[in-house]
């Protein structure tokens, strides 16, 4: 039989004003198992706490109910006091006589009766409480950052600068992401390469950062602080250590007509290539799908010319497994393809390009050295039409959301265009101008007022080619929908920002949630924007939703800070309110039937499958097992389990039923 | 203030009728103008398609009436260019059908609708009577209804010579059943 | 092989040559056409302007007749009829409870057992046969004109690409023609306004014909009687509106295919067009 | 009837939203009827059918279940599961002869102190009007556990 003490607080007049506290103490003293019950003016005061501690010792109490204010207020206070007196803190509970009783009811018998009932409920709970100890898990202080765009670079640098190890995994041959392709950036029009390249180099040279380019995450096991990650290092067919980056192979490769991804198909590259001059690492990769040697065994020129013998045609993919404490996803976005636009020609008009292609045309390092030339015939376009919301905010054929960055980059494009083609005229068809950011709307106004971009509010219905011009048929909704037709030399579509290809697969590999568009889901849209629902996995940049660079960098740093905070501890301490699947000897018997309903219900992927084997190693059955590192203690699994094999510590079935028995 | 009550929206708006008849909510339209931009006849219309929708969005008699009195609604060809491209999946031709029907019912259809209606009525007459279209009958009937007598007669001989005009109607066996279909649908609505 | 056939009113009157050429080509490729018994008019573009229910009931009656005759698929060569039939079919599939109501109106059971197909869809199935039989290639540059009704609304017809469709071009190419890539394939020709707003039709057709000629097409190819009559019969008004004298002929796709197969021009109704088909050798050999 | 029937109401509330909301009712000194006994659970997702049936078996005349608003669940989806399960429970309750009116599902956030007060009054009045839970007797002995 338990020895429980009940301590009823007056809270000055706050409780005692409506509740007859001495009577509550008296009524509750009669509850079986209660061996001590007193009331006092201010329980949370020092003398109040001392009173409790002494009572624990004097009456050898093994459970405590403090009938006072809300547990949200003082539960930690009294649990600490109980612990100091030698009672497991989880055997101390509070009955909420103030917020839930004295403050909300009149002074009368019913109110006092309710107060006594509230105490009764908690006494029964305490009787069924079990001592719990906070869960401790060790932390491996190495972070994995997936994706080497500006988000990933920023995160990696911040974590590395906090003194922790980082592995930065990038799937393409160089880090840099989309930002490396941009010409100049809003809202300040500074050169993208100029601000990005130093960071890329810093990341590559940082002693705490291990760069793995041309690599992808293959498998993730484990949980916060203790992930085991397998990365596939794809074969570049070039020995990175031996290669000096002299570039001879690249110049000599005879196979030069491969559409250049970095230049968005506006230029060509050879089969052995460095994606762009400032690439990090600045060493080539063989594109085996397009290399003659890999297609028919002929050629081999690169190998012949390489002065250091760095070409390795027989190099294989490598699988590397490592221990990781935290993961940051920074895999970015992709743009909707122009062939997704039937009314704009299914991508067949060469001079209908997307925003990224325009960036390349405007970039000093681009295929035209920054001179604006249209792709079809290299002429300077004198009229350029920009179409905002191409595929965005289009639930019929595109995506319903706003891509957020295109209003701004379109304004930027009109400016860059005007700065380069002084006599040119830019038109923008738009629906709304979304430029909510520091200096953003001013920037758009500048495009309109100083660089004379003509903004027309309406969507374009159709584009077709006639007499060497692109006929753009729009309407002006500020003029009652009056049809507007513009004969353009080039059209730039601000195509929708979408999640990366196969982002759902990646999310499943990592057990993180994603939204219906394939963007990774944050744990809470306002209060936990860089965390995922899976403890220890964080998000940065455009893999979560469309973002511009300032936001991406802010989020990268935020994710970095979260990781650094996590790594500031050697062990993680967590509330022991977690689910457990019952296990009873001999040997490891469980009532779990292995239905795994709990697994489907758990929002945190905390439930794993475990095989129970007999002595000879034969699998008797497969049962559920909760990973206490991942479980957040919501209890959803408990409600789902039909055999009551899984239960939640601190809010067990037994406890809740006991509470109900007092009614 | 006096006009406020006059403008107060009520449940029996044209938008509500559109919703009931077609399931389309006028609120879907975000006034991007893409419909007007692609419509082959919007230049001829006094109200462009998106403008018609805008008027209905107010949900007020005054604007509903403006839409119904418009000539433009009678020009819609039901070519579906607008609905094929509308990003918000608004089926404008169906809405036009409802607006026209309401305009007729309330007797406020634009005078220019006369010829167009005359044609459709003449066409349906032919179908109601014979079960099929009787082209010469249609032309004659249309001319009677619209008063434009000479417009197409010039073509008729050419068509006749090329075997394109039958002088006698094709009567189908089930004409009585077809007549009853007309009665149950068109007829029942007065 | 056999398939239900709904010629529709135009094919008995102003577009006889379409009927004639469809029948001739189908015979040549071995497809038997079984006419829907005692079919009625589909209501064309008039019924829906005046009454929605009527515009569903008339096509439903046709499909119910086909169903009663044991047909499972009906070919409606006229694009306007096709559009009305498939529109009604799709609406009734979406709201199955309306089937009961419509059955009452038409006094026959309607279950939705009969599918509706257009002429391009059917010919596409025989593309290889057609190619094999094209003994006299129609070696001309053609502008394939689809109009509005074959491909729109995309969710209802579910056929080809709604903008820049391809099937007719591919079929024309199979018989030796060179289809031009042009932007007016699906621009509306003015459809049912032929009589009431001839001025509008002339204007809309003007853009279409002008563009085809500019891009050096020698013939316009269509698969819809309405398109045909607007582009062919309304040519004088169209030319007047353009201030030009364009004599590009307008052929039905089935006529093009028929000519290439060596079917006698008369059997295909070539002589019935207003704008004369003035190819020196009607077999398609270049003059 | 001299004495009016005072219903017993059991409320299962989540720790993060409704429990905090009910605290706010107190801090705001909003008065409500004293018939409710609150049981705190981490999340509405934790509440299973057995708990509700047990409450009825123990003589509750009404049961309230309240948690975070949709999309605001502290545990992201627990409240969603709870709601989905409720659809199934309802039929089951019906089957067991309990008036489904006796169960109230609601969302009360941590900021909705006034709402909690009003809700308790509303439910108390409703259950008082429904009368005592006589169906309970059928449950006792059924061994709901
Ligand atoms: C046309 C255009 C113009 C723009 N102009 C501006 C501007 O002027 N100012 C501005 O602030 N913003 C601008 N932006 C937005 C800017 O590009 C983004 O904010 C920024 O690139 C987001 O960075 P990120 O690192 O999140 O994503 P990304 O740049 O997309 O980088 C993601 C990286 O992850 C890698 N990756 C993807 N999947 C994997 C995987 N599975 N494993 C490993 N690596 C992976 C990718 O290869 C890439 O290197 C513009 C965007 C566009 C499209
Ligand atoms: C009407 C309205 C509705 C909104 N609705 C939403 C919404 O629905 N969703 C949403 O996401 N956002 C909303 N917001 C925005 C949201 O309020 C802000 O994003 C958020 O409050 C910003 O938080 P903050 O801490 O930066 O600033 P603040 O909330 O302003 O906090 C600043 C604090 O600093 C204190 N302080 C100021 N100067 C000093 C000083 N010199 N020394 C010490 N302390 C100082 C202030 O007293 C204050 O407590 C809304 C804003 C408004 C105005
Ligand atoms: S313990 Fe709570 S109720 Fe008691 S005096 Fe302190 S604040 Fe007031
Ligand atoms: S030639 Fe050899 S050393 Fe030079 S870049 Fe190529 S692989 Fe590297
Ligand atoms: S082997 Fe391949 S990569 Fe090397 S030079 Fe030849 S084509 Fe280029
Ligand atoms: S940012 Fe502007 S252009 Fe881009 S989707 Fe949003 S509103 Fe459209
Ligand atoms: S729901 Fe219960 S029985 Fe089913 S797997 Fe989970 S713990 Fe085992
Ligand atoms: S208590 Fe919640 S988080 Fe923990 S295992 Fe169960 S469902 Fe998952
Ligand atoms: S295209 Fe659609 S959304 Fe745009 S204005 Fe027209 S109806 Fe409205
Ligand atoms: S359906 Fe009517 S409104 Fe729509 S584009 Fe065609 S003519 Fe214009």
Residue nearest to atom 1 of ligand 7 (CA): A641
Q: How far away is chain A from the Cα of B88, in angstroms, using its nearest Cα?
A: 6
Reported as a single tens digit per residue, the pLDDT across C225-271 is: 989 989 998 999 999 999 999 999 999 999 999 999 999 999 999 99
Contact assessment for residue A474 and residue A460, using Cβ atoms and an 8 Å cutoff? yes
Residue nearest to atom 6 of ligand 10 (CA): B79
Q: Is residue C285 part of a domain?
A: no
Do residues C102 and C176 share a domain? no
Do residues C147 and C244 share a domain? yes
Q: Is residue D1 part of a domain?
A: no
Reported as a single tens digit per residue, the pLDDT across A139-151 is: 999 999 999 999 9
Share of chain D above pLDDT 90, in %: 43
pLDDT interval class at B149 (50, 70, 90): low
Nearest chain A residue to B48, by CA: A481
Partner D contacted by A552 (CB < 8 A): no
Distance A578 CA to ligand 8 centre (A): 7
The domain spanning residue D97 has which CATH number? 3.40.50
pLDDT interval class at D1 (50, 70, 90): very low
Q: Is residue C48 part of a domain?
A: yes
pLDDT of residue A124: 94
Top mutation candidate among A235, A239, A244 for ligand 4, by most atoms within 8 Å of CB? A244
Q: Is residue D138 part of a domain?
A: yes
Judge B/D contact: 3 or more CB pairs < 8 A: no
Distance A258 CA to ligand 5 centre (A): 12
Is A481 close to B87, i.e. CB distance below 8 A? no
The domain spanning residue A88 has which CATH number? 3.40.50
Distance B20 CA to ligand 10 centre (A): 21
Share of chain A above pLDDT 90, in %: 85
Do residues C50 and C81 share a domain? yes
Looking at residues A520-546, what average pLDDT do you find? 92
Centroid of chain to Cα B46: 15
- DSSP letter at A662 equals T
A416 to each of A189, A364, A420, A451, how far by Cα in Å? Answer: 9, 12, 6, 9
Find the domain containing C77 and state its range: 2-119
Q: Which residues of A touch C211 (CB under 8 A)?
A: 466
Q: Which ligand is nearest to the CA of A357?
A: 1
Contact assessment for residue A427 and residue A486, using Cβ atoms and an 8 Å cutoff? yes
Partner A contacted by D83 (CB < 8 A): no
Distance C14 CA to ligand 10 centre (A): 25
Do residues C150 and C92 share a domain? no
Number of independent structural domains in chain C: 2
Q: Is residue D4 part of a domain?
A: no
Q: In ligand 9, which atom is closest to the CA atom of B49?
A: 6
Q: In ligand 9, which atom is closest to the CA atom of A481?
A: 5
Q: Is residue A310 part of a domain?
A: no
Do residues A325 and A356 share a domain? no
pLDDT of residue D81: 76
Contact assessment for residue B68 and residue B99, using Cβ atoms and an 8 Å cutoff? yes
Q: How far away is chain A from the Cα of B173, in angstroms, using its nearest Cα?
A: 45
Which string of DSSP letters, residue by residue, matches chain D?
--SPP---EEEEEETTTHHHHHHHHHHTT----TTEEEEEES-GGG--HHHHHHHHHTT-SEEEEEEPPTT--TTSSHHHHHHHHHHHHHHHHHHTT--GGGEEEEE--TT-HHHHHHHHHHHHHHHHHH---TTHHHHTTT---
Q: Is the confidence at residue B181, as pLDDT, over 80?
A: yes
pTM of the model: 0.83
pLDDT of residue A585: 60
Do residues A377 and A424 share a domain? yes
Top mutation candidate among A145, A146, A147 for ligand 1, by most atoms within 8 Å of CB? A147
Do residues A462 and A404 share a domain? yes
Cα A346 to Cα A11: distance, rounded to the nearest angstrom: 74
Looking at residues A427-444, what average pLDDT do you find? 97
Q: Is the confidence at residue B55, as pLDDT, over 70?
A: yes
Do residues A377 and A481 share a domain? yes
Looking at residues A511-535, what average pLDDT do you find? 88
Cα A386 to Cα A390: distance, rounded to the nearest angstrom: 10
Cα B34 to Cα C109: distance, rounded to the nearest angstrom: 41
Cα C4 to Cα C6: distance, rounded to the nearest angstrom: 7
pLDDT of residue D102: 92
Q: Is the confidence at residue A534, as pLDDT, over 90?
A: no
Burial bucket for residue C173 (CB in 10 Å: 0-12, 13-18, 19+): middle
pLDDT of residue B190: 44
Within 8 A by CB and 6+ apart from A205, the residues are none
pLDDT of residue D145: 41
Q: Is residue C279 part of a domain?
A: no
Looking at residues A520-524, what average pLDDT do you find? 88
pLDDT of residue A176: 97
The angle that helices B14-22 and B92-105 make with each other, rounded to 10 degrees, is 120
Is A100 close to D26, i.e. CB distance below 8 A? yes
pLDDT of residue A632: 86
Reported as a single tens digit per residue, the pLDDT across A159-191 is: 999 999 999 999 999 999 999 999 999 999 999
Count the alpha carbons within 13 Å of A305 in the hemisphere toward its beta carbon: 15
Which string of DSSP letters, residue by residue, matches A406-453?
HHHHHHHHHHHHHHH-TT-EEEEEES-----STTHHHHHHHHHHTS--
Is A459 close to B32, i.e. CB distance below 8 A? yes
pLDDT of residue B4: 40
Do residues C76 and C154 share a domain? no
Is A633 close to D78, i.e. CB distance below 8 A? no
Q: Is residue A418 part of a domain?
A: yes
The domain spanning residue C97 has which CATH number? 1.20.1050.140
Nearest chain D residue to A93, by CA: D40
Number of independent structural domains in chain D: 1
b/e sequence A464-497, b meaning 16+ C-beta within 10 Å: bbeeeebebbbbbbeeebbbbebebbbbbbbbbb
Do residues A585 and A455 share a domain? no
Biggest distance spanned by C-alpha atoms of chain D: 49
Cα B81 to Cα B88: distance, rounded to the nearest angstrom: 14
Cα A58 to Cα C250: distance, rounded to the nearest angstrom: 109
pLDDT of residue A574: 81
pLDDT of residue D141: 53
In whole numbers, what is the pLDDT of chain A averaged over residues? 94
CB of A292 within 6 A of ligand 5: the answer is yes
Q: How far away is chain A from the Cα of C220, in angstroms, using its nearest Cα?
A: 18
C242: part of which helix (H) or strand (E)?
helix C235-242
Cβ under 8 Å to A: D residues 9-38: 10, 19-20, 22-27, 29-34, 37-38
Do residues C245 and C159 share a domain? yes
Within 8 A by CB and 6+ apart from C261, the residues are C25, C28, C130, C133, C134, C135, C136, C175
Looking up tokens 């041309």, which residue turns up? A214
Looking at residues A429-437, what average pLDDT do you find? 97
Do residues A412 and A300 share a domain? no
In whole numbers, what is the pLDDT of chain C averaged over residues? 91
- DSSP letter at A542 equals G
Distance A71 CA to ligand 3 centre (A): 10
Q: How far away is chain C from the Cα of A439, in angstroms, using its nearest Cα?
A: 40
pLDDT of residue A264: 97
Give ranges for CATH 1.10.1060 in chain B.
Answer: 3-106
Comparing A122-131, A329-338, D135-144, the range with the smallest average pLDDT is D135-144
Cα A199 to Cα A182: distance, rounded to the nearest angstrom: 15
pLDDT of residue C284: 41
Do residues A433 and A550 share a domain? no
Q: Is the confidence at residue A351, as pLDDT, over 80?
A: yes
Check if the interface score ipTM surpasses 0.95.
Answer: no
Mention the CATH class of domain B3-106: mainly alpha
Cα A476 to Cα A459: distance, rounded to the nearest angstrom: 8
Looking at residues C31-47, what average pLDDT do you find? 92
Contact assessment for residue A105 and residue A597, using Cβ atoms and an 8 Å cutoff? no
pLDDT interval class at C280 (50, 70, 90): very low
Find the domain containing D116 and state its range: 9-144
Is A104 close to D29, i.e. CB distance below 8 A? yes
Do residues C110 and C165 share a domain? no
Q: Is residue D96 part of a domain?
A: yes
Q: Minimal CA–CA distance to D62: which of D41, D107, D22, D93?
A: D93
Q: Which residues of A touch B51 (CB under 8 A)?
A: 480-481
Do residues C68 and C182 share a domain? no
Distance B39 CA to ligand 2 centre (A): 48
Count the alpha carbons within 13 Å of B103 in the hemisphere toward its beta carbon: 28
Contact assessment for residue A47 and residue A41, using Cβ atoms and an 8 Å cutoff? no
Do residues C67 and C150 share a domain? no
A632 or C67: whose pLDDT is higher? C67
pLDDT of residue B165: 64
Contact assessment for residue A355 and residue A566, using Cβ atoms and an 8 Å cutoff? no
Number of independent structural domains in chain A: 5
pLDDT of residue C279: 67
Q: Of the residues C61, C90, C119, which one is the last residue of a structural domain?
A: C119
Q: Is residue A370 part of a domain?
A: yes
pLDDT of residue B166: 63
- DSSP letter at B171 equals P
Looking at residues A281-287, what average pLDDT do you find? 97
Reported as a single tens digit per residue, the pLDDT across A11-29 is: 999 999 999 999 999 999 9
pLDDT of residue C228: 92
CB of A271 within 6 A of ligand 5: the answer is yes
pLDDT of residue A181: 98
pLDDT of residue B3: 40
Backbone angles phi, psi at C182, to 5 degrees: -140, 160
Cα A202 to Cα A216: distance, rounded to the nearest angstrom: 22
Do residues A585 and A537 share a domain? no
Q: Is residue A134 part of a domain?
A: no
Biggest distance spanned by C-alpha atoms of chain C: 59
In whole numbers, what is the pLDDT of chain B averaged over residues? 84
Is A458 close to B42, i.e. CB distance below 8 A? no
Looking at residues A472-481, what average pLDDT do you find? 96
Reported as a single tens digit per residue, the pLDDT across B89-145 is: 999 999 999 999 899 989 999 998 888 888 888 888 888 888 888 777 777 777 777
D97 or C275: whose pLDDT is higher? C275
Contact assessment for residue C18 and residue C77, using Cβ atoms and an 8 Å cutoff? yes
Q: Which ligand is nearest to the CA of B44?
A: 10
Q: Is the confidence at residue C97, as pLDDT, over 80?
A: yes
The angle that helices A150-161 and A549-567 make with each other, rounded to 10 degrees, is 30
Q: Considering CB atoms only, which of C162, C164, C183 is closest to A466? A: C183
Report residue D133 as tokens.
């839970």
Distance A550 CA to ligand 2 centre (A): 20
Find the domain containing A207 and state its range: 142-233+317-332+501-567
Q: Is the confidence at residue A95, as pLDDT, over 80?
A: yes
Residue nearest to atom 3 of ligand 4 (CA): A243
Q: Which ligand is nearest to the CA of A526?
A: 2
Do residues C142 and C264 share a domain? yes
A625 forms beta bridges with A608
Report residue A140 as tokens.
């491996």
Do residues C112 and C158 share a domain? no
The domain spanning residue C236 has which CATH number? 3.40.50.11810
Q: Of the residues A541, A567, A593, which one is the last residue of a structural domain?
A: A567
Within 8 A by CB and 6+ apart from A186, the residues are A408, A409, A411, A412, A440, A443, A548
Q: Of the residues A98, A128, A158, which one is the last residue of a structural domain?
A: A128
């Amino acid at each position: 039989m338990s020895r429980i003490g009940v301590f009823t607080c007056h809270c000055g007049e706050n409780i005692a004003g409506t509740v007859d506290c001495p009577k509550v103490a008296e009524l509750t003293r009669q509850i079986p198992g209660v061996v001590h019950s007193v009331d006092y003016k201010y329980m949370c005061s020092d003398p109040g706490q001392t009173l409790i501690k002494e009572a624990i010792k004097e009456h050898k109490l093994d459970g405590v109910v403090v009938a006072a204010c809300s547990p949200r207020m003082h539960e930690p206070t009294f649990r600490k006091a109980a612990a100091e007196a030698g009672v497991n803190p989880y055997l101390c509970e509070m009955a909420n006589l103030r917020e839930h009783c004295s403050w909300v009811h009149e002074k009368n018998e019913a109110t006092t009766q309710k107060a006594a009932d509230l105490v009764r409920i908690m006494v029964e709970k305490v009787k069924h409480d079990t001592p719990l100890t906070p869960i401790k898990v060790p932390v491996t202080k190495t972070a994995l950052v997936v994706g080497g765009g500006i988000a990933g670079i920023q995160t990696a640098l911040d974590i590395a600068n906090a003194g922790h190890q980082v592995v930065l995994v990038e799937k393409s041959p160089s880090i840099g992401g989309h930002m490396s392709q941009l010409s100049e950036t809003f809202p300040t029009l500074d050169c993208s390469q100029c601000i990005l390249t130093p960071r890329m180099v810093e990341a590559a040279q940082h002693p705490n950062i291990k760069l793995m380019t041309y690599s992808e995450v293959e498998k993730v096991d484990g949980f916060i602080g203790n992930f085991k990650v397998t990365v596939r290092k794809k074969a570049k067919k070039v020995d990175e250590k031996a290669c000096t980056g002299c570039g001879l192979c690249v110049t000599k490769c005879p196979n030069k007509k491969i559409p250049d991804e970095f230049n968005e198909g506006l230029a060509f590259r050879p089969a052995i290539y460095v994606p762009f001059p400032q690439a990090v690492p600045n060493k080539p990769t063989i594109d085996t799908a397009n290399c003659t040697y890999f297609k028919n065994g002929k050629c081999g020129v690169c190998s012949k010319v390489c002065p250091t013998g760095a070409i390795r045609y027989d190099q294989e993919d490598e699988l590397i497994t490592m221990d990781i404490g935290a993961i940051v996803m920074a895999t970015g976005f992709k743009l909707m393809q122009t062939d997704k636009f039937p009314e704009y020609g299914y991508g067949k008009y060469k001079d209908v390009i997307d925003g990224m292609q325009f960036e390349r045309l405007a970039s000093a390092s681009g295929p035209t050295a920054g001179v604006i030339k249209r792709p079809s015939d290299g002429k300077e376009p004198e009229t350029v039409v920009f179409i905002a919301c191409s595929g965005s905010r289009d639930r019929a054929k595109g995506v319903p959301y706003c891509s957020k960055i295109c209003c701004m980059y379109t304004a930027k494009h009109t400016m860059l265009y005007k700065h380069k083609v002084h006599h040119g005229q830019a038109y923008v068809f738009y629906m709304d101008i979304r430029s909510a950011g520091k200096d953003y709307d001013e920037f758009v106004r500048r495009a309109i007022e100083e660089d004379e971009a003509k903004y027309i509010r309406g969507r374009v219905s159709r584009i077709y080619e006639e007499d060497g011009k692109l006929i753009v048929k729009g309407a002006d909704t500020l003029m009652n929908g009056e049809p507007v037709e513009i004969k353009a030399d080039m059209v730039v579509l601000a195509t929708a920002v979408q999640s990366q290809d196969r982002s759902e697969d990646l999310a499943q590999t990592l057990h993180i949630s994603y939204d219906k568009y394939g963007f990774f889901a944050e744990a809470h849209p306002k209060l936990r924007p860089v965390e995922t629902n899976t403890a220890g996995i964080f998000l940065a940049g455009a893999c979560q939703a469309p973002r511009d660079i300032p936001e991406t960098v802010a989020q990268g740093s935020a994710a970095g800070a979260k990781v650094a905070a996590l790594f500031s501890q050697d062990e993680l301490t967590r509330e022991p309110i977690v689910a457990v699947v019952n296990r009873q000897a001999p040997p490891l018997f469980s009532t779990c039937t292995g239905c795994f309903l709990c697994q489907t219900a758990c929002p945190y992927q905390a439930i794993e499958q475990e095989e129970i084997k007999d002595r000879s190693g034969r699998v008797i059955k497969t049962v559920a097992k909760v990973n206490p590192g991942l479980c957040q203690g919501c209890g959803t699994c408990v409600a789902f389990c039909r055999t009551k094999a899984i239960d939640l510590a601190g809010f067990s079935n037994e406890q809740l039923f006991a509470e109900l028995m007092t009614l | 203030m006096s006009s406020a009550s006059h403008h107060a929206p009520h449940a029996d708006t044209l938008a509500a009728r559109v919703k009931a008849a077609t399931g389309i909510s006028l609120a879907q339209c975000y006034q991007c103008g893409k419909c007007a931009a692609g419509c082959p006849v919007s230049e001829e219309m006094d109200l462009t398609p998106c403008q018609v929708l805008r008027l209905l969005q107010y949900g007020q008699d005054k604007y509903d009436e403006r839409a119904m009195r418009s000539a433009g609604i009678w020009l819609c060809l039901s070519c579906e260019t607008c609905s094929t491209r509308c990003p918000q999946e608004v089926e404008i031709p169906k809405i036009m059908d409802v607006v026209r029907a309401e305009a007729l019912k309330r007797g406020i259809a634009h005078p220019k609708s006369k010829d167009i209606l005359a044609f459709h009525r003449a066409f349906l007459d032919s179908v109601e009577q014979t079960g099929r279209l009787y082209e010469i009958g249609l032309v004659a009937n249309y001319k009677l209804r619209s008063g434009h007598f000479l417009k197409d007669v010039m073509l008729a001989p050419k068509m006749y010579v090329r075997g394109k005009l039958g002088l006698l109607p094709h009567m189908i066996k089930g004409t009585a059943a077809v007549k009853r279909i007309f009665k149950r649908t068109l007829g029942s609505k007065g | 092989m056999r398939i239900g056939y709904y010629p529709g009113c135009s094919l008995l009157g102003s577009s006889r040559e379409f009927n004639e050429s469809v029948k001739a080509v189908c015979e040549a490729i071995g497809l038997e056409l079984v006419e829907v018994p005692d079919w009625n008019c589909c209501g064309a573009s008039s019924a829906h302007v005046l009454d929605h229910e009527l515009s569903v009931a008339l096509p439903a009656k046709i499909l119910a007749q086909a169903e009663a005759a044991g047909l499972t698929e009906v070919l409606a060569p006229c694009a306007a009829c096709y559009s009305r039939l498939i529109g009604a079919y799709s609406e009734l599939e979406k709201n199955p409870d309306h089937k009961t109501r419509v059955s009452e109106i038409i006094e026959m059971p309607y279950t939705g057992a009969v599918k509706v197909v257009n002429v391009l869809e059917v010919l596409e199935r025989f593309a290889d046969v057609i190619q094999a039989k094209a003994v006299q290639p129609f070696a001309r540059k053609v502008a394939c004109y689809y109009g509005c009704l074959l491909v729109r609304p995309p969710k209802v017809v579910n056929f080809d690409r709604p903008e820049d469709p391809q099937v007719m071009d591919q079929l024309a190419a199979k018989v030796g023609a060179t289809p031009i890539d042009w932007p007016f394939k699906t621009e509306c020709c003015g459809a049912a306004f032929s009589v009431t707003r001839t001025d509008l039709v002339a204007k809309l057709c003007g853009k279409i014909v002008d563009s085809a000629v500019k891009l050096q097409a020698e013939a316009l190819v269509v698969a819809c009687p309405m398109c045909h009559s607007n582009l062919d019969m309304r040519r004088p008004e169209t030319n007047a509106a353009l201030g030009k004298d364009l004599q590009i002929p307008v052929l039905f796709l089935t006529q093009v295919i028929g000519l290439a197969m060596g079917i006698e021009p008369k059997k295909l109704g070539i002589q019935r067009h207003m704008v004369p088909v003035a190819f020196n050798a009607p077999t398609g050999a270049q003059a | 009837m001299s004495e009016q029937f005072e219903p017993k109401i059991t409320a299962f509330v989540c720790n993060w939203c409704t429990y905090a909301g009910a605290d706010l009712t107190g801090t705001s000194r909003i008065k409500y009827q004293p018939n409710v006994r609150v049981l705190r659970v981490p999340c509405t997702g934790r509440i299973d059918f057995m708990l509700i049936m047990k409450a009825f078996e123990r003589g509750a005349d009404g049961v309230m279940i309240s948690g975070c608003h949709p999309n605001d669940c502290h545990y992201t989806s627990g409240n969603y599961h709870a709601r989905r399960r409720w659809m199934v429970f309802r039929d089951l309750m019906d089957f067991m002869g309990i008036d489904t009116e006796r169960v109230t599902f609601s969302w009360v956030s941590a900021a909705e102190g006034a709402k909690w007060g009003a809700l308790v009054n509303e439910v108390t009045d409703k259950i008082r009007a429904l009368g005592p839970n006589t169906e309970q007797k059928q449950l006792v002995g059924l061994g709901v556990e």
